[in-house]
Structure formats: C-alpha cells, structure tokens
Amino acid sequence: MSKLFLVIASIFGGLSVMAGAFGSHYLKGQLTPPLLEIFTTATRYQMYHALALLFVGILFNRSETPQPWLIAAGWAFITGIGLFSGSLYALSLTGMGWLGMITPIGGIALICGWACLTIASLKS
C-alpha cells in the first residue's frame, strides 16, 4: 500500500506542477480572472494533498503493523483530490457551474483524510 500511495502522490504532485504552468502560461489569456482563480485553487489544493498523501505513504512504510487509519487517509486524499481539484479544473475549463456541486464532496473527502491521519497519529 505504501508504494501505491507514494506513486500516486508523485503523479499528483507532478501533474499539479504541470497544471500550474499550463494555467499561468496558457490559460492566463484564455480564462476570465474568476475562472483562472478557480483553476489556481485546484492546482494549489492538489499539491497540498499530494504532499499529504506522500506523507501517508512514508508513515505507512515506517509502520511495523498495518495501519487501517493510514489506509483510509490515503484513499480519502486520493478521492478528495480527484473530486475537489478535478471538479474545479472541469468547472474552470468548461464554465459549467453545476460542476461546482461536486467540489464540496471532494472537500469533505479531504477533511476525512486529515481526520483519519489524526486518528492514525493518536493510535501509533
């Protein structure tokens, strides 16, 4: 599980850098300022939580016994990144406002990831 989380975290981190560069170099002239800000928020949260997932992978690798709360944290971060950042990317690129209804679900998943990481820390 550790290796999977580390690989996914690395992919999300790299994609965040690419999305940020794409946003600042290409989309800056293509999107309205509010939509560009939405895109920027997506890249920022993706990177924050890619780092959190990387941390989960490292902690999981260091633990002597399987840590179900770390597994839950990892999957919550993966789900949250996909739903939160993914919906914001789609919203900013398409302008379809209804995609914003998905974003809070992703936010809840990210919060759950942090809660699971807290519980894992307290139980270790």
**12-59 residue pLDDT tens:** 999 999 999 999 999 988 999 999 999 999 999 999 999 999 999 999
CA angle 88, 80, 58 (to 5 degrees): 130
Note the pTM of the prediction, 2 decimals: 0.94
Query: What percent of the chain stands above pLDDT 90?
Result: 89
d(CA 31, CA 14): 23
Start-to-end CA distance of the chain, whole Å, equals 18
Q: What is the pLDDT of residue 65?
A: 78
d(CA 38, CA 43): 9
